[in-house]
Amino acid sequence: MQTPPFIISEIHVPNQLKPRADNVVKLKAEVDKHNLTDMWDMILMLDYQVANVHELSSETREEFCCIIALLLKAFTK
Amino acid sequence: MLTKNRTVFTELGTEAIEKGLADPQLSAFYESMMSSSGLVSEKLREHMPYLSLCSDKLEGIGPPPIFYVGRRSSQRHLFGEDWAMQQGQELRTPDPDLEEASAAAYRAALEERPYYGYARTAIHMEDKVVDIAFERLIIALRPSPKSDRRFCAYFGVIQDLQQL
């Protein structure tokens, strides 16, 4: 019997681990509001090597969002 | 073997780097940042995995909060993956004494010039105490020429690490 092809989209990812589009939008709005857009761009370009957050995979976008959440805390709290 | 219970935080000065006395990778980072006048450029990319980045917010007795911990950075190696990716509050090193002892170097980097120094101390973590010796370089950088923001880039090199 032949093994079925491995399909990435069928991997189950718990909902709490999925980056939500609205979370990215909210974070970007906060970043812009606090004049941290350059920092957002710097991390995206130098670490993730993309120009737009939507070019990231779901998992990588989640990791990026964690960094941005820390960025906001580090500069604004 | 490190001498136990002896804490040293001393500035060596960036002249030591220029004389070739520092770790080669740390020296490469220093030279790269000096050649771009403390402005972020493509040159920073290759060093990102080894850096921790923190804000320019100096309040109280500790250093600024951290927002980025490079995948191969000394802090991630020392404090672990869970610490590096924790959420909920500002990211700071887990030992309050270490926080207090290290703060002056960040102040110097933000207010004067890049800080290069050596430290030897015991660090108290949740489940263990380690004796550590490390060199560290802290440089204040600006993400773009027009930005009014600055941040600190920390390059640490662990020279000796022993669990007590």
Residue B2 lies in a domain: no
In the three-class reduction of DSSP (H, G, I as helix; E, B as strand; rest coil), residue B68 is classed as: strand
| Whether the Cβ atoms of residue B49 and residue B70 lie closer than 8 Å to each other | yes
Contact partners, residue B162, CB within 8 Å, separation at least 6:
B1, B2, B130, B131, B132
Q: Which of B42, B64, B143 sits opposite A74 (nearest CB)?
A: B64
| B149·A36 Cβ contact <8 A | yes
Closest-CA distance, A48 to chain B, in angstroms, reads 10
The strand pairing partners of B163, in sequence order, are B130
d(CA B147, CA B73): 26
Q: In what helix (H) or strand (E) does residue A38 lie, and over which residues does it extend?
A: helix A37-43
d(CA B37, CA B141): 9
pLDDT in tens, B32-74: 999 999 999 999 999 999 999 999 999 888 999 999 999 999 9
pLDDT in tens, A19-38: 466 789 999 999 999 999 99
Residue B93 pLDDT class (50, 70, 90 cuts) = very high
Locate all alpha helices (DSSP H) within chain B, ordered by sequence. 14-18, 24-35, 74-79, 81-84, 96-111
How much of chain A, in percent, has pLDDT values that exceed 70?
Answer: 73
Residue B42 lies in a domain: yes
Residue A1 pLDDT class (50, 70, 90 cuts) = very low
Closest-CA distance, A39 to chain B, in angstroms, reads 6
pLDDT in tens, B110-162: 999 999 999 999 999 988 999 999 999 999 999 999 998 999 999 999 999 99
d(CA B68, CA B57): 15
Q: Report the largest interatomic distance among the alpha carbons of chain B, rounded to a whole angstrom.
A: 48
Residue B118 lies in a domain: yes
| A67·B44 Cβ contact <8 A | no
The residue of chain A with its CA nearest to that of B148 is A35
Q: Which two tokens stand for residue B7?
A: 């804490």
The residue of chain B with its CA nearest to that of A62 is B85
Q: Which of B54, B68, B147 sits opposite A43 (nearest CB)?
A: B68
d(CA B129, CA B127): 7
d(CA A30, CA A69): 10
Q: What is the ipTM of this complex?
A: 0.91
Give the CATH number, domain containing residue B30.
3.30.450.20
Gap between the terminal Cα atoms of chain B = 12
Place of tokens 């933000």: B110
| Number of structural domains in chain B | 1
Q: In what helix (H) or strand (E) does residue B123 lie, and over which residues does it extend?
A: strand B115-124
| A38 contact residues in B (CB cutoff 8 A) | 143-144, 147, 149
Q: Which two tokens stand for residue A49?
A: 């090597």
Contact partners, residue B28, CB within 8 Å, separation at least 6:
B47
Q: Which two tokens stand for residue A6?
A: 């491995």
pLDDT in the model for residue B5? 59
| B85 contact residues in A (CB cutoff 8 A) | 63, 66
Domain that holds residue B144: 8-163
